């Protein structure tokens, strides 16, 4: 993707990859490298539901802004784990605490579905 050094220079621009390839490298290809591709690395029936839920889809931000996408939380074996609240999210946390568990889970499940609804090349 960006291949930026700490100084802001592009290191090896000829080695840049597309977003699709970068995401594949940290999901199914990473699972393959540890011989776990049958269990993790992609969202499929029968696989463990271990994933990171981002606040925005990487396809909707410029490449330079990818590292700034906030993590909403994770899912481990199908259980949602919201990320710890940041100071900016403290007000929203109080509201979420007042909602019942089913409503919070329903809202949380909409986030991954929204993020997966995008157009790109595979």
pLDDT tens per residue, range 72-96: 999 888 888 888 876 555 555 555 5
**In terms of DSSP H, where are the helices of the chain?**
19-25, 28-33, 90-97, 101-116
Residue 80 is encoded by which pair of tokens? 């949602």
Q: Could you tell me the pLDDT band of residue 34, with boundaries at 50, 70 and 90?
A: very high
- How far is Cα 3 from Cα 5, in angstroms, rounded to an integer? 7
Residue 28 has pLDDT above 60, yes or no: yes
Please state which of the ranges 36-45, 56-65, 104-113 shows the lowest mean pLDDT.
104-113
**Secondary structure of residue 10 in the 3-state scheme:** strand
Burial classification of residue 79, based on how many CB atoms lie within 10 Å of its CB (0-12 exposed, 13-18 middle, 19 or more buried): exposed
How many CA within 13 A on the CB side of residue 51?
21
Phi then psi for residue 85, to 5 deg, are -70, 140
Put residue 41 in one of left, alpha, beta given phi > 0 → left and psi -120 to 50 → alpha. Answer: left
Q: DSSP labels for 44-87?
A: -TTS---EEEESS-GGGS-GGGGGGPPEEEEEETTEEEEPPPPG
């Amino acid at each position: 993707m960006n291949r930026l050094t700490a100084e802001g220079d592009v290191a090896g621009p000829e080695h840049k990859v597309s977003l699709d390839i970068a995401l594949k490298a940290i999901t199914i290809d990473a699972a393959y490298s540890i011989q776990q591709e049958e269990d993790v690395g992609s969202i499929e029936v029968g696989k463990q539901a271990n994933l990171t839920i981002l606040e925005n889809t990487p396809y909707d931000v410029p490449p330079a802004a990818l590292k700034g996408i906030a993590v909403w939380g994770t899912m481990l074996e199908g259980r949602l784990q919201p990320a710890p609240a940041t100071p900016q999210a403290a007000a929203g946390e109080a509201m979420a605490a007042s909602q019942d568990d089913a409503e919070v889970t329903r809202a949380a499940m909409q986030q991954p579905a929204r993020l997966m609804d995008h157009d790109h090349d595979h």
